[in-house]
Amino acid sequence: MANLLETLTPEQEALLDKTADAYIADLVVQREPDLGIINRWLDVAYGLFDMKRPARVEIAASPEAALKLASELTGEKQTEMDWCGVGDGGWVSFYDLFHQIGVLTDEEAAEVLALRDFGKVAWDSVLLDECAIVIRRPVALRLDDDGNLHSIAGPCIEWADGEKDYAYHGTWVPERIVMEPRSFTRDDILAITNTEERRALGEIAGWQWIADQLGAAVVDKWYDRSTKLKYELLKCPNGTQLLRKQSPALKSGKQPTYVEPVHEDLKTARAARKWQATNLTPSQCEADPVLRYAVEA
Amino acid sequence: MELYARHGDLVIEKLDKPIVGELQKGVNIVFAGDSSGHPHTLMGSVDFRRDGRRTLVRVPDGKPMELRHGKSTGHKTIALAPGDYEVRPLRERGDGADRAVED
């Protein structure tokens, strides 16, 4: 039975940030697979399903390699890893802390600490009945100052077999956005349907470059005095219109810019903002563009 | 017009009238953010129904429920007071038709 603590000592309070920082710092550390540690976790994982760890344990160089092997072994296309390993650090760190401050006994924490240790020497797994496929930690992993996967100079993750992944401040993006941002044509830019990818491209290539590439000109501006957020309606030569808008302050304090296509009949930035949030027509939004939110975050 | 809240690309409208029709139980239901892996999660147990792009949600009596963003540095958490809501994504234009803003 866990020991309940009503209050934390200053030393225990300090351990909160220290533990979180340690988990984040560990993400970028390269380590070779350690079969002793891996097998200890596999015994726990298979045991949860009343199974024995299979005799065959394969180490894969990347998630791609693991899924390819899993597909070959099962005869069916495998697309999902177990999501069990490094990615569990967020919640495992809590239990690790609870163990450190005596809320959990060694026995109570044993299984979750086995998962913690597994995450230090492996990335994830694809566990099959006859074979446990364990993925090596990447050879390089890059983060931004907030601990999000991020790199604008190359891949954010590099795997031992040469596979690469790209992310911009924690959002997965296609390689081209990071490596060749200014190769995007007007049509390529307009074909991006994901607003976070659009934001990434805009911030990497430069919003002004995007506007120039689209031939877009600002046709209206609106400043929301209550939230201090700026909005601009841009028009492209082909009639496409875009609303460029400033985000409310995020938890990080940053206020990124987003650009989203809006109806071609809108005439003002303020009406475009209302059009996005409602089912009203452009003319209805122009006739009464007022829209207030009790909260914007 | 006044709406209850915007949380990133989500609009939260508090409904004047109770939701009509059947609702299902759900815990920590999520909205949008599929492709980025950063969903907006309503923390706790609610009754809800998916209806195309929108989700109808009944926040039970008691304490307000938190709507959290999956990214640690993302949108700030907001509170939804007890009541009935429609939660929907912002819309944008593409290929001559309206579509939901994806993130």
Quote the ipTM score: 0.94
Q: Is the pLDDT of residue A205 over 80?
A: yes
Number of domains in chain A: 2
**Does residue A47 sit within a domain?**
yes
User: Tens digits of per-residue pLDDT, B15-65?
Assistant: 999 999 999 999 999 997 655 678 899 999 999 999 998 999 999 999 999
A184 to A9, A71, A128, A198, A205: CA distances (angstroms): 55, 35, 42, 11, 9
Q: What is the pLDDT of residue A79?
A: 94
User: Tens digits of per-residue pLDDT, A138-168?
Assistant: 999 999 988 889 999 999 999 999 999 999 9
**Does residue A170 sit within a domain?**
no
**Does residue A229 sit within a domain?**
yes
Report which secondary-structure segment, H or E, holds A177.
helix A175-179
Last residue of a domain, which of A80, A115, A137?
A137
Block residue for tokens 């809108």? A266
Task: Give the mean model confidence (pLDDT) for residues B76-96.
Answer: 94
8 A C-beta contact, residue A222 and residue A246: no
8 A C-beta contact, residue A168 and residue A178: yes
- Of the candidates B5, B71, B73, which has its C-beta nearest A293's C-beta? B5
B5 to B8, B31, B73: CA distances (angstroms): 10, 14, 19
Residues A23 and A110 in one domain: yes
| Host domain of residue A32 | 10-137
Last residue of a domain, which of A137, A172, A201?
A137
Last residue of a domain, which of A137, A152, A170?
A137
**Does residue A85 sit within a domain?**
yes
- Of the candidates A260, A274, A290, which has its C-beta nearest B92's C-beta? A260
Interface test with B, best of A194, A247, A251, A290 (most B CBs within 10 A): A251
